[in-house]
Structure 1
Amino acid sequence: MVTGYPRFFIHKSIQALSTDIVAKYCRPGESGMPSAMLFPTKRTAQRCVDFIRERAEPFTVTELSILRLVLDPTKEFAEPLRTISPSISAVIFPERLFPIAKQYWQHSGAGVSSRRAEFCHGLFRDDLLVLDDRPPSPRPPQLNKLRRGPKRYQRTASIDETKGAGTNGRPSPPAEELADDLESSRFLEERFGRNLDVSLVENAKSAIRRRIAGVLTTDLDLASKSLPVMESNARGVSNLQEHDIYLTPCGMNAIFTTHQALLKARKPEKSINFGFPYVDTLKILQKFGPGAIFYGHGSSADLDDLEARLKAGERFLGLFCEFPGNPLLSCPDLIRIRQLADTYDFAVVVDETVGNFVNVNVLPFADVVVSSLTKIFSGDCNVMGGSLILNPSGRYYSALKAAMGEGVFEDTYWAEDVVFMERNSRDFVTRIDRVNANAEAICAVLEAHPLVSKVYYPKCNESRSNYEACRLPKGGYGGLLSCTLETQAHAIAFHDALETAKGPSLGTNFTLTSPYVILAHYHELDWVAGYGVDPSLIRISVGLENNLSELFAKALKAAEAVQ
């Protein structure tokens, strides 16, 4: 694989800016030319440095540093640039420490987005992004306004227009004209036939939060319409307010931030990872605190064992689980978990990415609900995002709220990413309805075929009653399912014949099929098999296509031909 999901493969635009920063500001050290990893703030960069120092050889930590790049304070800038506050904090480290730095990047999800990197790279090339500790230089008397800037701010035309063209296809005006006309740099981008003023980014964030709360389900023009009032019983809890919903750069960063908030708000203790997890959730709990105990089956027997530990006096920071889990789509018993949490004083954190908040409502059972907006909430697979919701009725609400306000949470969600996420999510509810129907149809095809040994889907799993306890009246069973076939040869034939896109993500508007276990757990196949996860499992993220049942029936025919 030469590229992939941005937490696993650092985007080439980010790599390009890293290379140029190193070339301009760094000299070779004892270990050769250093490398850089880019973060949006100095605080997030410092956490990376601390992570590396804890794991690197002592003699290398002296070669760690942070370079913070900000808008040149000697120049005046158009209001949009000041509003979005473009900045980069580069962690500089010896190249041999890249594997350690990459762990932090992957687990925390705190790195810069590709759009931020591209935007800041334009400023960097134009000498408008400088070290924040550079001594102020005398301002040239003739330089009173911005003469140059990133290309997308040098015209009011769509970012999709022909490169170099201005409004109505005319060439972009010279920089001198732009400096005299700040109006030309007012717009972040143009799409769907209308401009979006940068000043509306905060409204876009508000719209996203209210969609997450379930009070905004229709399209709206952010420039002309007021947003719906938050209802007192949104998400099934009283007094949920918009400020209880936090937006993060990606879903994993929502989990990371929640864990950091719990460590700050409560006495640090081990956490519980309940149910077979997505790769990085367990890594976060293991590497960024006192550690974790792992209940990979997420079964009633596991809850019995946990309860015995609690009765014996063990105490925990919080229990982290997915609803449903990925890739087995089983659901933990949130009712019993909530009862144990109330009795033995631990927080409950539920990742609802796969279930999603159109189908299920898990907030009444949780202290914090996290989700990856990158998936079906966006659907277009062109932007990342995450969210976390603090339950205002939760025991730890006040302590978590205080921790979030004391530096655990920073609003680093890049303005352009917000714009795309808000627009992508406008038809979220209608897309979910269609995906639910498609997934149920595929499930029926798979269950009826004799070569399919097992289908994993909330509707047909043994844990269905746990799902039903949280399913909304109009909710379906989601757009993710997995299956195993009689033999590995059958699975290979089925996968290769299936005429869908092949890839390891989920929640796209088109169907994605992948040998998920091989991709996600290639070096630990025996370990995952111990938790009932077949290495030949095929995971299917269902999209919006019309002919999916036919495609799956055709692929099963190919499996039948295997001798």
Structure 2
Amino acid sequence: MPLIELGDSIPPNTAHAVSVSLPTWKSNVGYEEGEQWVIGSMITGYPRFFIHKSIQAFGRDIVAKHGITGQQAMLFPTRKTANRCLEFIRDKAPQSALVDLGLLHLVLDPAKKTPDALQSVMPSISAVLFTPEVFPFAKQYWQHSGDGVSSRRAEFCHGLFKESILVLEEKASSSRTLQQKLGRGPKRYRRQASIDDSKNGSNGGHHHHYPVTLDAPVEDDTTDTLESSRFLEERYGRNLDLSLVPNAKSAIRRRIAGVLTADVELDSITSLPTMDSNARGISNFKEDDIYLVPCGMNAIFTTHQTLLKAREPQKSINFGFPYVDTLKILQKFGPGAIFYGRGSSADLDDLEDRLKNGERFLGLFCEFPGNPLLTCPDLVRIRRLADTYDFAVVVDETVGTFMNVNVLPFADVVVSSLTKIFSGDCNVMGGSMILNPNSRYYASMKRVMTDEFEDTYWAEDVIFMERNSRDFKSRIDRVNANTEAICEVLRAHPLVTNVYYPKYNESRPNYEVCKLPGGGYGGLLSCTLETKAHAMVFYDAIETAKGPSLGTNFTLTSPYVLLAHYQELDWAASFGVNPDLLRISVGLEDDLTSVITRALEAAEAVSN
């Protein structure tokens, strides 16, 4: 792959890319240190860590029109999600920072004639307004919960907002009169653009946003109506066939269930394979036991919130070295968590002792395999303890993927980030949660989900996710083969001290219990080299995309621990996670072993 310049999106020229290029070890350190030569170059970033520039632009325009000087805005898809953020801020931020804290809701103006299909996707926006002192707390909620608005939703709704079609909820009934009084601004300041136009607010820091002027002449109402109608028709007709969204969601759910493995047309739901009552090896499994959410972390957040409402709130267990925000969710929302960072048999012994001594827990959260050491917890023993001592088991299968492993028989809930290999194209976010219909908590969780769950997965993101995932099965097979080949090269080289991969780890027997007959060992591996200097040279030399995320159709390398745990490297090391570890998410390219060999040859030149 040609070198992707520092700060460019991965993939390049992609308006809603999920990753960003950090091509050298030094640039990763610069990113973590907040150095301007890195931060200032970034067109985008991982969406829960870097708020997309189209979202930032919309927030600024909302504040300019409806806020007060000095305020900032954090955008959410619904009133409920925004209120959760508000509650988090009030709980975590100092009292002195809570001045000018507010909430507003933007909805379609009922006085405007809009297509029924537009109303069906509910293009609403809720904004939490605050002073800069509050931003770190609002950002924490955004990052941990995954509740934030998607960049495609923000771009789309921003267009409606500029056209005065999306208005303040309390002013909706009188918005037509208000709009005529204020005017809509000079036409030259209003532009129409394709939703996926890479120049639409996401191409660096040179995009200008013009405020609606308040002293513009009143335009003819007939012209206004025709222009709004044409705007909506072009927006929807060209970019989004909303009639396909329900079928697209159904196709995604059936792919997750494992009953849809071939390409299908979405014109008719009858073309989709029916759900097998024994899908995923589980009896009574139904399509509506699968919930789609905006991102993988939101699946974990929603599961935890649901368990807190379905059961007596208690501490949770984070078992195994976690993806960074999973532990934060368990610690910051609810009664807290205990942490077993190695996920070992000894850790299970300690947990069993606690349980025998009367301690009780809400649920155990684990990954299968874990990230970045690719170890697998003993789900058989965990299931036995859960049944004996009454706690839920939540398994994140993102790394293993349901084409390689089936963990549902051992779990009460299975969560996954569809952003990763299920999509593969690195241009859309998504997540899923599956309720095991045979779980003892199924009925209570289902009641909570029926009462509380909001479908906030934006229609455009659904369409992109469905299209991307059509060849998921064939991609998994190729990625599995590529990854095993790379592992063999790394394992044979004297500079490589460890290769972490489910096939070679001590926990392989735990993986084999869940491995499907046609499955492999996944597309993620990690390795360590003799010294930090070797790791740095290897990383700088490797001819792959380099940035955050995983599960892309192209190979993506990252100094993962440096990025995920920069402020806590010693803490990570205490659980056997080397700060200089390199993580490689393997793609579909040909001859990847040569790419690895050349990077190793570069590392060989490092003087000891």
Calculate the TM-score normalised by the size of structure 2.
0.84
Structure 2 distance, partners of 1:430, 1:14, is 35
Q: Once the 2 structures are TM-superposed, how far is the Cα of residue 160 of structure 1 from its aligned partner? A: 7.0
Q: Once the 2 structures are TM-superposed, how far is the Cα of residue 93 of structure 1 from its aligned partner? A: 1.2
- Deviations for 1:264-290, whole angstroms, at most 9, x for unmatched residues? 000000000000000000000000010
Secondary structure at the aligned position of 1:321 is classed as strand
Q: Among residues 494, 516, 534, which one is paired with 1:490 in the alignment?
A: 534
Q: Among residues 192, 198, 203, which one is paired with 2:242 in the alignment?
A: 198
Structure 1 equivalent of residue 113 of structure 2: 76
Amino acid at match of 2:564: A
Secondary structure at the aligned position of 1:389 is classed as strand
Structure 1 equivalent of residue 486 of structure 2: 442
Q: Among residues 122, 130, 141, which one is paired with 1:93 in the alignment?
A: 130
Residue 113 (1) aligns with residue 150 (2): yes
Does the 8 Å CA contact 1:154/1:178 hold for their aligned counterparts? Answer: no
Residue 405 (1) aligns with residue 450 (2): yes
Residue 480 (1) aligns with residue 517 (2): no
Specify whether residues 183 and 300 from structure 1 end up closer, same or farther in structure 2 by C-alpha distance, changes over 3 A only.
closer
Residue 8 (1) aligns with residue 53 (2): no
Structure 1 distance, partners of 2:531, 2:116, is 62
Structure 1 distance, partners of 2:61, 2:465, is 29
Structure 2 equivalent of residue 316 of structure 1: 361
Specify whether residues 177 and 128 from structure 1 end up closer, same or farther in structure 2 by C-alpha distance, changes over 3 A only.
closer
Q: Among residues 531, 553, 563, which one is paired with 2:575 in the alignment?
A: 531
Amino acid at match of 1:556: L
Q: Among residues 42, 45, 67, which one is paired with 1:26 in the alignment?
A: 67
Structure 1 distance, partners of 2:473, 2:306, is 31
Structure 1 distance, partners of 2:423, 2:234, is 27
Structure 1 equivalent of residue 90 of structure 2: 53
Q: How many residues align?
A: 536
Q: Once the 2 structures are TM-superposed, how far is the Cα of residue 183 of structure 1 from its aligned partner? A: 10
* Structure 1 alignment gaps of length 5 or more: 164-173, 191-195
Secondary structure at the aligned position of 2:170 is classed as coil
Secondary structure at the aligned position of 1:440 is classed as helix
Structure 2 distance, partners of 1:180, 1:66, is 29
Q: Once the 2 structures are TM-superposed, how far is the Cα of residue 55 of structure 1 from its aligned partner? A: 1.3
- Deviations for 1:80-102, whole angstroms, at most 9, x for unmatched residues? 21121111000011111100110
Specify whether residues 223 and 287 from structure 1 end up closer, same or farther in structure 2 by C-alpha distance, changes over 3 A only.
same
Structure 1 distance, partners of 2:71, 2:375, is 45
Does the 8 Å CA contact 2:108/2:172 hold for their aligned counterparts? Answer: no
Specify whether residues 162 and 337 from structure 1 end up closer, same or farther in structure 2 by C-alpha distance, changes over 3 A only.
closer
Q: Among residues 314, 317, 323, which one is paired with 1:278 in the alignment?
A: 323
Specify whether residues 138 and 42 from structure 1 end up closer, same or farther in structure 2 by C-alpha distance, changes over 3 A only.
closer
Does the 8 Å CA contact 2:421/2:550 hold for their aligned counterparts? Answer: yes
Residue 269 (1) aligns with residue 314 (2): yes
Amino acid at match of 2:464: F
- Deviations for 1:45-66, whole angstroms, at most 9, x for unmatched residues? 0000000001122243353221
* Structure 2 alignment gaps of length 5 or more: 1-30, 32-38, 201-222
Amino acid at match of 2:289: D
Specify whether residues 20 and 316 from structure 1 end up closer, same or farther in structure 2 by C-alpha distance, changes over 3 A only.
same
Structure 2 equivalent of residue 552 of structure 1: 596
Q: Once the 2 structures are TM-superposed, how far is the Cα of residue 557 of structure 1 from its aligned partner? A: 1.2
Specify whether residues 415 and 467 from structure 1 end up closer, same or farther in structure 2 by C-alpha distance, changes over 3 A only.
same
- Deviations for 1:22-64, whole angstroms, at most 9, x for unmatched residues? 0111124xxxx11110000000000000000011222433532
Secondary structure at the aligned position of 1:137 is classed as helix
Tell me how large the CA RMSD over aligned residues is: 2.5
- Deviations for 1:448-502, whole angstroms, at most 9, x for unmatched residues? 1111101000000000000000000000000000000111111112111111111
Q: Once the 2 structures are TM-superposed, how far is the Cα of residue 555 of structure 1 from its aligned partner? A: 1.1
Structure 2 distance, partners of 1:470, 1:10, is 37
Q: Among residues 406, 411, 430, which one is paired with 2:474 in the alignment?
A: 430
Q: Among residues 7, 25, 43, which one is paired with 2:80 in the alignment?
A: 43
Structure 2 distance, partners of 1:549, 1:102, is 40
**Mapping for residues 69-468 of structure 1, pairs under 5 Å:** 69-134=106-171, 136-137=173-174, 184=233, 187=236, 189=238, 197-224=241-268, 226-407=271-452, 409-468=453-512
Amino acid at match of 1:223: D
Higher RCO (CA 8 Å, separation ≥ 6 residues): 2
Specify whether residues 159 and 22 from structure 1 end up closer, same or farther in structure 2 by C-alpha distance, changes over 3 A only.
closer
- Deviations for 1:193-230, whole angstroms, at most 9, x for unmatched residues? xxx63111010000000000000011111014521110
Specify whether residues 182 and 58 from structure 1 end up closer, same or farther in structure 2 by C-alpha distance, changes over 3 A only.
closer
- Deviations for 1:303-333, whole angstroms, at most 9, x for unmatched residues? 0000000000000000000000000000000
Does the 8 Å CA contact 2:167/2:175 hold for their aligned counterparts? Answer: no
Structure 2 distance, partners of 1:265, 1:423, is 35
- Deviations for 1:327-361, whole angstroms, at most 9, x for unmatched residues? 00000000000000000000000000000000000
Secondary structure at the aligned position of 1:348 is classed as strand
Does the 8 Å CA contact 1:277/1:296 hold for their aligned counterparts? Answer: yes
Structure 1 equivalent of residue 206 of structure 2: none
Calculate the TM-score normalised by the size of structure 1.
0.91
